[in-house]
Structure formats: structure tokens, C-alpha cells
Amino acid sequence: MVDPLPQERPFLDALHNDDWPAPSRAWRLDEVGLAPGALAELFESQLMSRHLDLHARRLQARGEAFYTIGSAGHEGNAAIAAALRPTDPAFLHYRDAAFLIQRSCQVPGQNPLWDLLLSFVASAEDPISGGRHKVLGSKALAIPPQTSTIASHLPKAVGVAHGLGLQRRLGGDSEWPADSVVLCSFGDASFNHSTAQGAINAAGWAAYQGAPMPLVLVCEDNGIGISTPTPEGWIEASLRARPGFHYLACDGCDLLDTWQAAREAARLARARKQPVFLHMRCVRLYGHAGSDAPQAYLAPAQIEADEARDPLLVSAGLLRRHGVLERDAIAAHYHAVSERVAELGEAAICRPKLESAAQVMASIVPPARPGRALAWQGEVDTTPAPMAKRLNQALERLMQRYPSLVMAGQDIGRKGGVYGVTQRLQAQFGPHRVIDTLLDEQTILGLGIGLGQNGLVPILEIQFLAYLHNAEDQLRGEAATLSFFSNGQYTNPMVVRIAGLGYQKGFGGHFHNDNALAVLRDIPGLLVACPSNAADAVGLLQEAVRLADEEQRVVVVIEPIALYHQRDLLEEGDQRWCFADPGPEYRLPVGALGQWGEGHDLAIVSYGNGVYLSRQAIARLEADGIEARLIDLRWLTAIDHDAVHRAVADCKHILVVDECRRTGSPSEELVTALVERGVAGERLARLTAEDSFIPLGRAATATLPSVAQIVERARALVVTAEERQPATGSGARMPERDT
């Protein structure tokens, strides 16, 4: 027999004395519609969850397990699992092991104890994450993994709920049945997070207007967030009268009370397609995690009171009161599960682990799937036009070619976007495919994650780059990690269009002119593109949609606001920054470079507004007899540094023009990569923006690279530098491209 831990003493004492606490309400089994055998099955799931928690601590003490945030005290969520269908998508709180275990009873061929133990010991055979994290998830059980449920999963649950009806209307293949209910659980402390509040508000906002929202939000209220108490009555007072929601409450320590409330929640959400807030009161046992000592911040009387409400004690009492199991049978079940968990635990620690960087990173990039683009029969507009018009035409074409493509963002529908890029698209395709969202970037990104996870291809618009920062965790912590932590089993492909960068005249200040891209460029697996002209904008957007559709990637396209309507290059009226539509098949693959000119004196490497400014600077340099070429990066992540090196290797000097701030900018990576490939430091220079925010008014461009600065830096590099080292390498180049 496994030696009991001190945490088991209250249950073992109650078992010895056959003395169990009374439930909060005297429900009869027939009254709530639960058979005796079903009650015993729920108790079995609770026992499995509890013994997993206990054994995780034993394994951690031996250095064999790495995660001890357990479910003890929350095991009542087993009844919620039983009240739902096993095909209903469930985004789970990290204390919901009993939910996963109970759901596995509804799907043949499952072995939840073994699967969860593999996760505890970070085995490469863990069927959900492949050993990358201890997460609750299962493809077979419709449970996408959540890495750390501090409310960040709520926005995408709202997105999935909205996507169910949208998929039904569009007639596409959905990840889940069209009549599903989406479940999302979280703690009472997470309820206060701005992400949770935004998602709750968005769900209610949609439902208030009659939009289908079959969503059950379960707040597992144990009264404390690590060490900070939740005010008594706070959750109920905040949600009972919330517009758009049905509020239900239950005692999560009482299986029968939880079962009846969960059944009603599922009925309301499924039948009425309306969101339900299920307030499940429970307790947290054994502290926040294995390293946490609740005695440091809880009075002994409070700890004892929580132990007296242990859901296992209440459940055992229900089994006895309703004549389902005798005391000896309960004892036999308890010890048999303990022995089984210990036996499987010893086997699990012997299973293979991840050993190499390649193994760890294998699931960062999602698996490919067949493309769904339809043929396009329209005419191509050969009349030169600026970037905003070309993007609008490309979006219209993409909406026609991809029936599963949906656009969403603030003001993109009726108004057509702040800069007119999405004009007339809502009138053509309908408000269900061109969605005007509420003003909440977390909700916009979460909506896209949920839509993408449900088989759609979302194109989201963030109105300004500076607006991204209050929501960037939806990209960093959710969108980009789903494939990684599910071993490629779940994906959320999406395209995010963001209007950004500087050089706007007379508008905005730092909150509308943001030239910081580091927050996007360091997210593993995320792709970032930045066009400099109208033709490239079409090619990058069309490739971004292909990447989302066929390769299930998350792609961000940074669109330079200052170039949206720019027509002229060198003089007023020359129309040299207007381009013909390159057509529906024009795509610029990741790493593909653009090039203007063939000069060997100087190579300028840039992107976005920097390309436009450098073209003007090169015209002045040519008047000085300096022959230059310009390399346009186009993609700011997954840069093909070998291709960049080939493109500049036969030039005497190389100048990187970077409109981002000096610290954390793409130019740091570019210069480093060139030096690593043998380019001498004296041949290199970079011109960047200052490490500053952008002001309003005439000083708006004072901190940014200018044409005059590019010319000055280039002349200093070429004219005054001693030719100490001859250029080397033939330097394969891309064809020259011009207006």
C-alpha cells in the first residue's frame, strides 16, 4: 500500500469513522436525474484527480515531476463534464483535471491517468504537448490545451462560440459540431483580470444584440488568489445582473448541486444560444502549489474550515446517504486508485523525454493542410494606384476566393476603416463576414484565435500599432503557442493587419505613430511582413492569407500609414509610388527580397517607409556619382540572411536604414548576420530612429531617419572611407523592380 501523505489525513479519518459532512442541499438522485451508478462514476473521477495531485508531490520530491498546481478542492467540475457532450469544446482552468478525467469516461479508448502522468513527468510521449508543458488537453476529448489560464483563454472562447454560428452560416468544415456549447473555466482571482472582464463584456455585448453566443463561463470560486482573498459576494454581485448573461450558482463541493446547475447551464446555452455564467463555489486545498505554504497567510481555523468542505468528503457522504456504496467499498476504491496511480507513475518516469532543441521546436510551426482558394475570374486593374486602394482590391478578391475568410476589427465595416482600406467590403459581403467589433483589441485578437481554431481564416485589423500593446499577450501567449503546446494538433491560423510606423504629418503623436516592432519579432513562429509599396502590399497580403490557409500560420502585416495614400516619389505629380495590380497569383514568399538598382558603390537595406525615403536619397546620391542599389526586406521575421548577404556582397559599402528605434530594431539582427557572414565592420553602417517616442506636430519626424540623413550617412560611408578591403563575392541579385 502507498504510504499516505499528511494531506490525506482528513479523508482517512472520515473514512475510519464513517463520518461525512452533509451536502449543502438535500437533493434526491431522481430529482436531479442522476443514476446511482453515474454518481459512483463521478466520485471515481474525483478520486483519480486527487491521487494525481498527491502523487505529483511525491514525484516532485524525487525530482521526477515538475508541476504541482493541483485540482484538490475543485473536483466538483467532474459533474460539469458529465452535463456536457464530449464534443463540446472546453477551455479549462488548470485545476480541472477531474473534468478531463470524467469526460474521458464518455469517449472510448481513453487512459487519462496515464496521459496526465506523462504530462506531469514531461515525457515526450505526453499525447497533448509532447512533453513541452503540463497542460490539460486532449484532441480526442475536444479540450484544447491552455498553458496558464490567467484569463487569457477567455477571449478565444468567445471567438469559438461566435464562430460556431458563423461556420454554420458559411457552410464550412467546423472543428466542432454546429450545435456545440463552448465551456471556459477560470478562477475567481482571474475574474478580475482585464482580459476576463473584456471577454465577459464582449460576450454580453454580442448577446445583448441578439448574436448567437452558446458559451458557458465557469468561475471556480475558491475565495482566494494565491494569498489574496476574494471579497465575499464579489463575483455574484458583479455578474448576477450582467446584461446579456444568465447567472447560475452552485456548490462545487456538492456533486448533485453542481450537476443540476451545470445541466441547466448547458440547456440554456445550447437551446437559446446565449451565454451563461456558472458560479461554482469551491475550496482550494493544499495551497496554491507544492511550494506554497498556506499557513503563512491563512489562519488555522480557515484551513480547517476548507478541509471540512473537501468535495471528496461530501461526495463520499452522498454515496453513503443514497445507498450507492458502503464504507468498505469507498475505502477499497480510494486505495485502489492510489495504488494504480503510483504504479503508473513509476512507469511514466521511465518514458522518453525531449532531449534536443530540434525536438522542442518541432511543433512551433503548425502542420500544413490542403488549400481552399477558389479560382478568380475577374479582371486585373492595370491603372497605377497607391497602397490603400490596392489593399482594398486585394481584400475584395481574397474574400471572393476564400469562402471561409472573415474580417474583423474596429470601424472596418460601415466606415471602411480609418484610412479607407476596407471601404465597401461590408456592403458587398455582409456584416457577418466583415465584422465591426467593439473597441477592445484583446477581444479582436481573441475573436480571431477562436475563429481560426474553428476552421475559418480570419483577417483582423488593429487600428494602430500602438493599440496592440494592451493586447499583445493574445499573440504571444495564446495564438503563437497553441501549435507548440498541442504538438501541432490544434492551430489558430490568422492574419493580423496593423496600421503603423511613423512619418504621418500633423496627426497622432506617439499613440498613432509607433515605430517599435520588437514585441512582434521575438515571438517564436510568428511571421511579420511590412510592405513599402502598393504592389508588394498585395503580394505580401495574398501570401499571408495563403500561409494562414495552407500552412496554418499566424501572420502579422504591418502597413505603413504614411504610404497608404502616397502617390509621388521625387516630385509632385510624378505618380511614381503608384503601382498596377500585380494580380491574384502574385505572392511574395517569406524571405523574398526586393531590389532596385544594380550599383556596386553602396547597398542600402531597408523596409517600409525606409525604402521610400531611400529611393529619394539614391536619386541624390546618383547625382554625386555614387552608384547604389536598394534591398527591400519585405519580411521582418524569418529573414533569409544568406539571401541578404548575396544581394549586397559585391557592394563596397552597406547601409542599413531602419525606421525602428535603435534598440531592439531589425537592423541589429541584420548587421550581426552580415558580420557573421564575413562582412567587414568598416563596410557597414546603420541609420536608425532614436530611442524615443514620437511627438506631435512639426517635430513628429525629428527622431526618425530622413532623406537628408540617409544621404549624409551614405556619403560619409562611401566618400570618406578608405577602400581598405575589396568587395568579395559575386552576389546573386533579384531582378530590378521599378514603376
Active site residues: 512
- Euclidean distance between CA atoms 614 and 254, whole angstroms: 70
DSSP line for 644-669: HHHHHTTSSEEEEEEEEESTT-HHHH
- Grouping H, G, I as helix, E, B as strand and the rest as coil, residue 484 is helix
- Euclidean distance between CA atoms 677 and 641, whole angstroms: 9
First vs last C-alpha separation in the chain: 81
Look at residues 644, 640, 421, 455 and name the one whose alpha carbon lies nearest to residue 538. Answer: 421
163: which 3 cell numbers?
464562430
The phi and psi torsions of 560 (rounded to 5 degrees) equal -65, 115
449: which 3 cell numbers?
484565435
Neighbouring C-beta atoms of residue 657, cutoff 10 Å:
26
DSSP line for 549-578: HHH--EEEEEEEGGGTT---SSSTT--TT-
Please name the residues in contact with 94: beta carbons below 8 A apart, sequence gap of 6 or more. 69, 136, 146, 148, 149
DSSP line for 258-316: HHHHHHHHHHHHHHH---EEEEEE----S-SSTT--GGGTS-HHHHHHHHHT-HHHHHH
Look at residues 160, 154, 184 and name the one whose alpha carbon lies nearest to residue 92. Answer: 184
48: which 3 cell numbers?
483519480
310: which 3 cell numbers?
473537501
DSSP one-letter code for 2: P
Core vs surface per residue 610-632: b (16+ CB within 10 A) or e: bbbbbbbbbebbeeeebbbbbbb
